[in-house]
Structure 1
Amino acid sequence: MLIKTMYKRLVFSLLFLQIVACGNQAEINILNFGAKGDGQTDNTEVIQKAIDQISRNGGGKVIVPNGQFLTGVIQLKSNMELHLEEGAVLLGSDKRMDYGPSHKASPLIVANGQHNIAITGDGVIDGNGHKLIKDIYKMLNEGTLEDLEYQTYNPWHQKRPEEGNRPKILYIYNCDSVQVKDVTFKNGLCWIQDYRNSSNIVVDRVKVKSTTFLNNDGIDLTDCVNARVTNCIVDTADDGICLKSSTNNLMCENIYVANCKVRSSASAIKFGTASRGGFKNVTIKDIEVYDTFRSAIAIESVDGGTVENINVSNINASNTGNAIFIRLGHRSGDKPGSVRNINIKNVKVQVPFGRPDKNYEMNGPEVRVPHNTFPSSIVGIPGHIVENVVLENIEIAYPGRASREVAYIPTDSLSKVPENIKDYPEFSMFGELPAWGFYVRHARGIEFNNVKVTIENDDYRPAFVFDQAHDITLKNVTIPESKDDQIIVKDATVINIDVN
């Protein structure tokens, strides 16, 4: 017993000397606390002790070296950097109960109310989703895990455990001065990174590879202020980079997203669906999108939020199910929000015929009504319109091949397109649409400037339909020649038409 006590004191003394010797930038290697990188030993307590020790000493760096370090939930503290060296893997536990009770799965890595925190390095944070989902299903089948969704199909007709039983990988809540750089996130079962109610965020050179399960949003910014997401590569089985707003008096504001590459079984860049406070002063630029099921760009306000001053530019999307989707609806909230002052320019999109995400482990939900290829759309609701949208230097290539036998909305019966005011917003939410290029309804001040739409095969529908839309301007718009009218205007006013 005496020898053990002396040994513990010696280890602590050496660790203390190590911290002091590093001056203002203290460092602790988790190996010094007894961590084992064998992929089997539970290192949760060891890693947390290292974090707590750094915190007690005023901050510094916790180093995860080469190896596979199995861990449960860990809590980050202020003034610290979690640094994963090359070859380092933080491997999430494959036991569901290590994340908390039914309906309350904690994320793997949590920071709540902290400041000046960072996650850096060339290592990997692995949610271990393939093994963890097996344990979740095992518990569900045994009746040892309560679940609100699993026994019924959700609105997307997919049987899956609820989000509250599937851990996120990273959760940053109510924090300030956050940096996440260079690391790779993979194999999650829910959102991969959730930055919420936080400010002064930098996410740079981060890679996300998570097609393990559904709801694998790559990067979510929820009601965040002053955030930069740059140079990231995201491949996820849900939205790629997503802005959300879950609180009425908060919003995402002053957001910059640039130079990212995205593959998604949902939408690549998305505002919403949660949209209570809204989104303001957002710049999205230099984005490559590929093999994406839904929209390259989706901008939505359906929960009463304000969306304004949005600038999107330099988007190149190939094999992507939809180009642009802008929606003002009223799913929840006391009254509808607003969508205005949106500029989208220098966008090139190639829309395929059929599913663009067919090679995913788990595909996004099928559209369960007969339809032809969907156009881009800008749609408000009666009495609440989308305002002041400029589309400039846009080129969208469509496949055509529409068939009246599949679905048909005559252009003299546009009222057959449902309003779906309270529905979940999605480019396919209206079912069949009467245009193949752009469909615009309940909007004002929409400008098409140097816009070109092409079609590979014949399509019986017109290129543009404007229904209850006003102050529409078309300048230098290029449409394929056709014996039929390619621009349909109903209960709408078009200020200028300059079509090639």
Structure 2
Amino acid sequence: MGCYVKRFFIICFTISISCLGYGQTQNIKVYNIKSFGAKGDGIADDTEAIQRCFNLAVKSLNAKIVIPYGKYKLRRALVLNYVEGTKEILGEQQNKTNPTFVSSSLTDILVARGYLFKNAASIFKIKNVTLVGKNLPFSNAHPKINKADWSAALLIYDKKQANIENVVVKDFYGQGIHISTTKQEGIPVSACFQYAEVLNSKILNVWGYNPQNDSYGDGIYMSNVRRGKISNNYINNKLSQTGQLGRSGLVVEYMCKDILISNNLVEEGYDRALHVEETDGGHRIINNKLLGSDLGFVLVEGNQQTSYKSLTFQGNYISNKNLRMLKTVKKTYARANFGDRSLLFIDTKKLLGSPQINITDNTFQIDGTFEYDSNVIFNNRSDYVILSDNRFEAKGTAKNFLIANFSKIENGNGWKNKVVKVQ
């Protein structure tokens, strides 16, 4: 099918796909941003051309937007605003390298926006795209620090499903990849994302500094997702380059349930490596490396209105390795009392039901050549924790550390409140 709009030739391909088991045909229209005038030469401003493509694509129920290899300069955010069907963005790689959107502003780069229906609708997919912001190293003159507003390189709101694979985010202030509903509490389960995944992606030098509210600066953020996966991602905010901590490498919160968090590496540069809060449980946190913080894994639950599903934290490696402190760096969470920050911090107050929080076969290591601003290595304030086959290790330090375990459940490690010398 051929179309002519203004002076640009717009090439649209229609693909028919048979839906197995339904006997229906689903038409997918394919749009190429270069057909709308995008140059991708790293010189021309491609904002309007790409937005024209997006605006036409959202009129199709199911659309695939192709991004040929190149460097596309942007002066403002690109927005896909739609409430039904599937929209997919697919980058065409060259020598396994993604096409790149380069923003000259300090705002969002790519936004997929829906509407908060009682029953979530529409699907968003993106693969093989790099998003580069224009963030500056930390200084008191930085135009964004300690402001209430924030931005996201990839912002996905109010969808039924989100699939993100091989997205690279670089040099961005605020959130790297952000998935949530616009209202995060007091909504029906049916209004949440029914599935979301972030796979094989990289978040590089993404941070935000908002110590007053502690409300942004995450590598990957996911909330209001009823089933999902965060796997095989690499997150690194190099303090030697950015000069300031982000909030958290990975965040899962607000009504999330049954999220697999596996084989991710958080290398350095975040106030905490992994933060899980106010969810409905059921998460499997497996085989991750959570480095670069003296607050490795934070689990804070208790205000849920439904029964909490048991959670598993297994086979993970948690260490303060790579936590090189600069004079400008400010920690935020659990700073009220000395010792609250620890490699494992669990605080579950009034969970409904009789859940288990299974902490098994993990390695907790303190590296004395890096910062560790606490005398506690393990801080548990939950009656539901079961510990088994975990290891405490230390190198480069002869310091004693406190195990603060208030669980009433007998466990395989036999850890109670005591001071231990880590071997």
TM-score, length-normalised on structure 2? 0.72
Change (3 A) 1:186 1:55: same
Tell me what 2:13 maps to. 19
User: 2: CA distance between counterparts of 1:63 and 1:200?
Assistant: 24
User: 1: CA distance between counterparts of 2:41 and 2:343?
Assistant: 46
Change (3 A) 1:21 1:259: closer
Please tell me whether Structure 1 or Structure 2 has the larger radius of gyration of its CA atoms: 1
Contact persistence 1:283–1:311 (CA under 8 A):
yes
User: 2: CA distance between counterparts of 1:21 and 1:302?
Assistant: 48
Contact persistence 1:388–1:446 (CA under 8 A):
no
Tell me what 1:129 maps to. 135
User: 2: CA distance between counterparts of 1:50 and 1:41?
Assistant: 16
Change (3 A) 1:36 1:328: same
Cα shift at 1:66: 2.1
User: 1: CA distance between counterparts of 2:87 and 2:4?
Assistant: 28
Long gaps (5+) in structure 2? 18-26, 116-120, 182-192, 210-215, 238-245, 324-341
Secondary structure of 2:293's counterpart equals strand
Tell me what 1:296 maps to. 296
- 2:313 is the counterpart of 1:328: no
Secondary structure of 1:312's counterpart equals strand
- Residue pairs, 1:61-100, within 5 angstroms: 61-71=64-74, 72-76=76-80, 77=82, 78-86=85-93, 87-94=98-105, 96=106, 99=107
- 2:351 is the counterpart of 1:387: no
Secondary structure of 1:280's counterpart equals coil
User: 2: CA distance between counterparts of 1:210 and 1:33?
Assistant: 32
Change (3 A) 1:8 1:244: closer
Tell me what 1:50 maps to. 53
Among residues 164, 171, 174, which one is paired with 1:190 in the alignment?
174
Contact persistence 2:14–2:30 (CA under 8 A):
no
Q: How many residues align?
A: 351
Long gaps (5+) in structure 1? 1-5, 100-105, 141-149, 151-159, 246-250, 330-335, 357-366, 380-385, 403-434, 452-462, 468-478, 483-500
Cα shift at 1:163: 4.2
Cα shift at 1:129: 1.7
Change (3 A) 1:9 1:126: closer
Alignment deviations for residues 12-40 of structure 1 (CA, whole Å, 9 cap, x no partner) = 4xx25x42478834322211111122434
Cα shift at 1:194: 1.4
List structure 1 segments (4+ residues) > 6 angstroms apart after TM superposition. Answer: 479-482
Tell me what 1:459 maps to. none
Among residues 70, 87, 111, which one is paired with 1:109 in the alignment?
111
User: 2: CA distance between counterparts of 1:299 and 1:446?
Assistant: 20
Contact persistence 1:210–1:216 (CA under 8 A):
no
- Residue pairs, 1:119-268, within 5 angstroms: 119-121=126-128, 123-130=129-136, 137=141, 160-164=145-149, 166-197=150-181, 198-211=193-206, 213-214=208-209, 215-236=216-237, 237-245=246-254, 251-264=255-268, 265-268=270-273
Tell me what 2:190 maps to. none
Tell me what 2:243 maps to. none
Letter paired with 2:131: I
Q: What is the root-mean-square deviation of aligned Cα atoms in Å?
A: 3.4
Tell me what 2:40 maps to. 37
Letter paired with 1:310: L
Cα shift at 1:353: 2.7
Q: Percent identity?
A: 16
User: 1: CA distance between counterparts of 2:376 and 2:422?
Assistant: 20
Secondary structure of 2:173's counterpart equals coil
User: 2: CA distance between counterparts of 1:22 and 1:50?
Assistant: 21
Among residues 396, 399, 408, which one is paired with 1:444 in the alignment?
408
Contact persistence 1:220–1:241 (CA under 8 A):
yes
User: 1: CA distance between counterparts of 2:384 and 2:232?
Assistant: 30
Contact persistence 1:293–1:355 (CA under 8 A):
no
User: 1: CA distance between counterparts of 2:351 and 2:147?
Assistant: 29
User: 1: CA distance between counterparts of 2:147 and 2:228?
Assistant: 29
Range 340-349 or range 318-327, more displaced: 318-327
Cα shift at 1:318: 4.1
Alignment deviations for residues 373-423 of structure 1 (CA, whole Å, 9 cap, x no partner) = 3221112xxxxxx22211111001135544xxxxxxxxxxxxxxxxxxxxx
- 2:368 is the counterpart of 1:353: yes
Letter paired with 1:257: I
Cα shift at 1:319: 3.8
Letter paired with 1:396: F
Cα shift at 1:180: 0.5
Contact persistence 1:285–1:312 (CA under 8 A):
yes
Secondary structure of 1:387's counterpart equals coil
Secondary structure of 1:53's counterpart equals helix
Contact persistence 1:378–1:439 (CA under 8 A):
yes
User: 1: CA distance between counterparts of 2:146 and 2:422?
Assistant: 50
User: 2: CA distance between counterparts of 1:128 and 1:394?
Assistant: 42
- Residue pairs, 1:277-426, within 5 angstroms: 278-290=279-291, 292-301=292-301, 308-320=309-321, 322-328=342-348, 340-353=355-368, 355-356=370-371, 372-379=374-381, 386-398=382-394, 400-402=397-399
User: 1: CA distance between counterparts of 2:402 and 2:33?
Assistant: 56
Secondary structure of 1:238's counterpart equals strand
Range 170-179 or range 314-323, more displaced: 314-323
Secondary structure of 1:390's counterpart equals strand
User: 2: CA distance between counterparts of 1:211 and 1:21?
Assistant: 37
User: 1: CA distance between counterparts of 2:114 and 2:302?
Assistant: 28
